[in-house]
A and B are shown apart, each in its own frame.
Chain A
Amino acid sequence: MAVEALEARPCAIAAENAPGMLRRYPQFTISPAILLALLAAWWLATDVLGVPTYVLPRPQDVLRALLGGLSRPPWDKASYWYHAGITLWEAVLGFAIGSALGALLGLVLSHWPILGKSWYPYIVGFQSLPKVALAPLMVVWFGFGLEGKVFITAIITFFPVLVNMMAGYQAVEPERIELARSCNASELHLFTKIIIPSCLPFLFAGLGVASVLSILGAVVGEFVGASAGLGMLLMQFTQAMEIAQLFAVILLLAVIGFLMNHVVSLVERRYCFWAQRSNATART
């Protein structure tokens, strides 16, 4: 104990003395520096060290491809906007359907334990199945259109929401339910005023995971057969060895995934603002 304390001291003092900006806002200081370093390394590898461009395109070529694809109007089929819009629509629809069903079923299976217990082995079994394996089947069932992509996205986003909702239900403090019962609360009130709000932090954890997975679902759906979308573009550019364009689309997908997740956390901050702060204080 004493040795630890002695060793910890100088470190603590050093940290105190570190520049305030770096310590307080590493996301605005150190994070951009990391980005710059990565870009410099990329540029060095391609332009200076001469890694072939069909393996790693030059950053300026990727930027040119990105700007070229984004400068066309959205109705132009050569525009990235057009394909990004289609992929985003597939992802959002699938996400909405999958997570709504997941949340609802999570509540139902938790509230009626007989249902939950009898369905549990099948849920576990289906969850351990890699859902992308179903993508080729979607082409058979739904063809090359929107439905197949929405379906696969819905299946992929369904499980994290379901599992988190069930965990949330289990975590409802029994005292809250006892409080409602002591006031003769109806079943409906118990659900709307206690159980569902209590589950929100868990629900949002599931939605955060699902929002990122929804892009994955849409892209995989497009891989196996599509006439439009960023996933289809990826396949096309790969076959044509347009590696700079390929990188541009990958970047775009990363941005879309990030934005989806960000929207979810914005909604969470609006409706679930109490959760993080309450964990620190309100649970006595």
Chain B
Amino acid sequence: MPIAQDSMEAIRAVTAPLESGPAPSPALIRAHGLSKTYATGSGQVPALAGIDFEIYDGEFVSVVGQSGCGKSTLLKLLAGLLPFTAGSVELNGKPLRGPTREAAVVFQSPVLLPWRTVLDNVMLPIEFRKLPKAMYRQSAVNLLAMVGLSEFAQRYPFELSGGMQQRVAIARALVQDPRLLLMDEPFGALDAMTRDQMNLELIRIWSHSSKTVIFITHSIAEAVFLSDRVIAMTPRPGTIADIITIELPRPRDLSVINTDRFGRYAARLRSLLDARGGLL
């Protein structure tokens, strides 16, 4: 354990008052006792056990954990793509039953349809949801402008770089105007430089769009940099080790990574993941 006892105390001094602070706004998501067990050939495999959290409107919350800790499972449960085994989830006060328009997913890979132009890819959720295309076309164009891809609207995905493709995927998620954006390691496949750039871009988009974001990642630095709060998970079965509030001032730029406070948050998260996971 690389963390000295006194620095742990210092982190607590920073985080403790914030954790007990009042909720900024009513909860958009309320998960209670959320559990998922996969039935496989060799028996029951628990992936998530007894997850409790509340996420407030407009918050940016990251979920970090080692691979296999069930963080992707958690995202699929929240997206309504997987049925949960026990517990309950409320989205905007209503129990979650399957996918809804309120929650949009950004997957690990961009999942763009190669036979559609960039603009038609962004319009896909509108077609699937049978919403009036003419009405949403302008917002699709605006979203492409927001992610900086206006001049690529009529291009095809294979003409775009990996980072650009993932920006199209973000525009596609936003086109149905969801309240919640569920992101499953969306920048995991990108190189480090592009990834930093995409993180800055994401913060900018998030601050402009007033969406709530749940962001799955295995990068502690990414989680601290982006988030209002970070949920640290233990593996097999996934449970919540702790939820850390990140009190770094916004707007943030990349220089915040080199500050002491950032380092202390990262160290605290690393110790949480270490202590319970046993692996580095």
Chain A positions within 8 Å of B, measured between CB atoms, are 173, 175-176, 178-186, 189, 193-194, 197, 200, 272, 274-275, 277-278, 280-284
Contact = CB atoms under 8 A, between A and B. Distances in A.
* 7 residue pairs, one from A and one from B, having the closest CB atoms: A278-B114, A183-B128, A185-B128, A274-B114, A183-B125, A277-B158, A175-B111
Interface stretch (B99-107, B212-220, B234-242, B263-271): B99-107
B104 A176 contact: no
B127 A189 contact: yes
A183 B124 contact: yes
B128 A180 contact: yes
A194 B110 contact: no
Nearest to B111: A175
Contacts of A284: 109-110, 162, 165, 189
8 contacts: A179-B111, A183-B128, A193-B113, A200-B115, A272-B115, A274-B115, A281-B160, A282-B165
A270 to B, nearest CB: 12
Interface residues of B, number: 31
B162 A280 contact: no
A182 B75 CA distance: 12
B275 interface: no
Contacts of A181: 81, 99
A73 B128 CA distance: 55
Contacts of B80: 182
Contact of A182 (B105, B113, B114, B158): B105
A283 B157 CA distance: 10
Contacts of B99: 181-184
Contact of B115 (A175, A182, A184, A197): A197
A194 B114 CA distance: 11
Contacts of A197: 113, 115
B114 A184 contact: no
B156 interface: yes
Contacts of B160: 281
A282 B129 contact: no
Contacts of B129: 183-184
A193 B81 contact: no
A101 B51 CA distance: 50
Contact of A274 (B101, B158, B162): B158
A179 B108 CA distance: 11
B104 A275 contact: no
B110 A176 contact: no
Contacts of A282: 110, 112, 114, 157-158, 165
- Residue among B104, B127, B158 with the most chain A CB within 10 A? B158
Given A184-B128, A284-B189, A179 B105 contact: yes
Contacts of A189: 127-128
A272 to B, nearest CB: 8
A189 B131 CA distance: 13
B245 interface: no
Contacts of B108: 175
A68 to B, nearest CB: 48
Given A197-B115, A274-B156, 17 more contacts: A178-B111, A179-B124, A181-B99, A182-B79, A182-B80, A182-B104, A186-B128, A189-B127, A193-B127, A197-B113, A274-B114, A275-B114, A277-B156, A281-B157, A282-B114, A282-B158, A283-B109
Nearest to B166: A284
A261 to B, nearest CB: 23
B176 interface: yes
Nearest to B156: A274
B124 A193 contact: yes
A159 B101 CA distance: 42
A179 B189 contact: no
Given A194-B113, A274-B114, A179 B107 contact: yes
Contact of A178 (B81, B115, B128, B165): B81
A173 B110 CA distance: 12
Interface in B147-196: 156-158, 160, 162, 165, 176, 189
A129 B107 CA distance: 45
Interface in B78-107: 79-81, 98-101, 104-105, 107
B135 to A, nearest CB: 17
Contacts of A194: 113
A259 B250 CA distance: 65
B254 to A, nearest CB: 24
Contacts of B100: 184
Nearest to A198: B113
B111 A173 contact: yes
Interface string B115-131: 10000000011011100
B59 to A, nearest CB: 21
A275 B101 CA distance: 31
A181 B79 CA distance: 10
A1 to B, nearest CB: 26
A283 B176 CA distance: 25
